[in-house]
A and B are shown apart, each in its own frame.
Chain A
Amino acid sequence: DTAVSQTPKYLVTQMGNDKSIKCEQNLGHDTMYWYKQDSKKFLKIMFSYNNKELIINETVPNRFSPKSPDKAHLNLHINSLELGDSAVYFCASSQAGSLKTQYFGPGTRLLVL
């Protein structure tokens, strides 16, 4: 059973396009996250949602819009893709609280040409 899943695994697209990445967790967690891992493997949080409400937005450009239709899903929509958006995007989930383990998805490798 996959705990945190993401689709697609790979995404290759042209500059200027709009794309979405989907994330689903079946762990019953109430908090979900999006992280970006750049080419140097630096990992940084982008967004955090708790019970479908946005609680963290880390100065991410407006072109990135997360959407949480329910507690089990947190999708990431990206408008007007730029070359610098090329990265691996990880979704994660946890129960609320600092000591709760975050469970990560397998990542979506985005390449913008």
Chain B
Amino acid sequence: AQRVTQPEKLLSVFKGAPVELKCNYSYSGSPELFWYVQYSRQRLQLLLRHISRESIKGFTADLNKGETSFHLKKPFAQEEDSAMYYCALFTDKLIFGTGTRLQVFP
């Protein structure tokens, strides 16, 4: 079955602390993975995609096919990073995980 799992509903850290939002997927094909972010009362927007191997707003995510994971990381969290983060897998459609709310305290 095609599935995306984000085990943490809520992740709270202090400003400057490292952040890792976990994402695991289940898919028999070659995965195409994305991270989307939704800031408070704003629309969902793409943060990054695995194919680009880019760093956006200090966030990176590496696809680990052996562990079927695509964890999102940032070495030093900022207050403005507080948002809802969704990991998504594209098959013939985007399948979203249940989301992780990141709270960064000052």
> What string of 1s and 0s marks CB contacts (under 8 Å) between B47-68 and chain A?
0010100000000000000000
> B92: CB under 8 A from chain A?
yes
A residues contacting the other copy or chain, number (CB 8 A): 22
Of residues 41 through 87 on chain B, the ones whose CB sits less than 8 Å from some CB of chain A are 42-46, 49, 51, 84, 86
Cα–Cα distance between A92 and B86 once the two chains are bound (Å): 15
7 contacts between A and B (CB under 8 A): A45-B95, A90-B43, A90-B44, A98-B90, A103-B45, A104-B43, A106-B42
- Interface flags, A14-41, vs B, CB<8A=1, else 0: 0000000000000000000100000011
Cβ-closest chain B residue relative to A3: B43
Q: Which residue of B lies closest to A101 (CB)?
A: B46
When A and B form their complex, which 7 residue pairs have the shortest distance between CB atoms, in order from nearest? A104-B44, A43-B96, A98-B90, A104-B43, A101-B46, A106-B43, A41-B99
* Nearest CB of chain A from residue B31's CB, rounded to whole Å: 10
Number of B residues whose C-beta is below 8 Å from A? 19
- B96 to A, closest residue via Cβ: A43
Closest beta carbon of chain A to B57's beta carbon, Å: 16
Instruction: Given A48-B93, A98-B32, verify A43-B46 contact (CB < 8 Å).
Output: no
A107 within 8 A of B: yes
Partner of A42, one of B32, B93, B98: B98
Closest to A56 in B: B93
Summarize B's interface: helix, strand, loop or mixed: strand
Q: Contacting A102 at CB < 8 Å: which of B46, B92, B98, B99?
A: B46
Q: Does B94 have its Cβ within 8 Å of any Cβ on chain A?
A: yes
A63 in the interface (beta carbon within 8 A) = no
CA A87 to CA B44, docked complex, whole Å: 15
A56→B96 CA distance, assembly (Å):
15
Asked whether, in the complex, the Cβ of A56 is within 8 Å of the Cβ of B84, the reply is: no
Contact B32 A99 (CB under 8 A): yes
Q: A66 contacts the other chain (Cβ, under 8 Å)?
A: no
- The answer on a CB contact under 8 Å between A99 and B49 is yes
Contacts of B42 in A (CB 8 A): 106
